[in-house]
Chain A
Amino acid sequence: RKEVEQDPGPFNVPEGATVAFNCTYSNSASQSFFWYRQDCRKEPKLLMSVYSSGNEDGRFTAQLNRASQYISLLIRDSKLSDSATYLCPGNTPLVFGKGTRLSVIA
């Protein structure tokens, strides 16, 4: 069951670049949306919640488009430390896609 679809990447971007990922979901009844970050061989950690009105946290902006059923994550002024895999789960029961791998290059 593919509740979520993400471009797996990898996205290789230079430091300072702006990069955006999308995550499409199939369950129109989904109510809660989140972005997670996973570093290599570590557990996924919540990056930010995605609200209907959008959500901004420093260099990160998350938005929800219910009509087209996708959420997006925008990272401005990329840092080397942003290199990770970014995941968006579908609704409960939670199903994660493969994630989008980002590599920020010096």
Chain B
Amino acid sequence: EAQVTQNPRYLITVTGKKLTVTCSQNMNHEYMSWYRQDPGLGLRQIYYSMNVEVTDKGDVPEGYKVSRKEKRNFPLILESPSPNQTSLYFCASGNYEQYFGPGTRLTVT
């Protein structure tokens, strides 16, 4: 089954404790991206990747890192999370239409 998976689905953490949200796709897509969604602000792109070892900043990259060492995985790294990164995060992949993961609800206290 073609899918995008994200883990964890829910995470509550404290300020400053490094965390990684994993994203994996099994459709051999070159393009992958991360979004955050906050009430009233819609989907905002954090980072995207056009292919392995190629990543670029989206609209709101501050406080985030990504890596693309292999085609299927595109982890999102928060080196020192802060409360303003509390949000709903979506990973997506697709060369044309996008397939989204189920989302990760992150709370930073």
A93 touches B58 (CB 8 A): yes
B59 within 8 A of partner (CB): yes
Q: Which residue of B lies closest to A48 (CB)?
A: B97
B42 touches A99 (CB 8 A): yes
A43 touches B59 (CB 8 A): no
- Of the candidates B45, B92, B96, which one forms a contact with A95 in the assembled complex, judged by CB atoms under 8 Å apart? B45
Report the count of interface residues on A (CB-CB < 8 A): 21
B48 within 8 A of partner (CB): yes
Q: When A1-B59, A92-B31, A93-B48 are in contact, do A32 and B90 touch as well, CB less than 8 Å?
A: no
**Chief secondary structure at chain A's binding surface:** loop
Q: Which residue of A lies closest to B105 (CB)?
A: A41
Q: Which residues of B (72-108) have their CB < 8 Å from a CB of A?
A: 88, 90, 92, 96-103
B100 touches A98 (CB 8 A): no
- In the bound complex, residues from chain B placing their C-beta under 8 Å from that of A43 are 90, 100-103
Show 10 residue pairs from A and B whose CB-CB distance is below 8 angstroms, ordered by the A residue. Answer: A32-B97, A34-B97, A36-B98, A41-B88, A43-B90, A43-B102, A44-B43, A46-B99, A94-B92, A94-B98
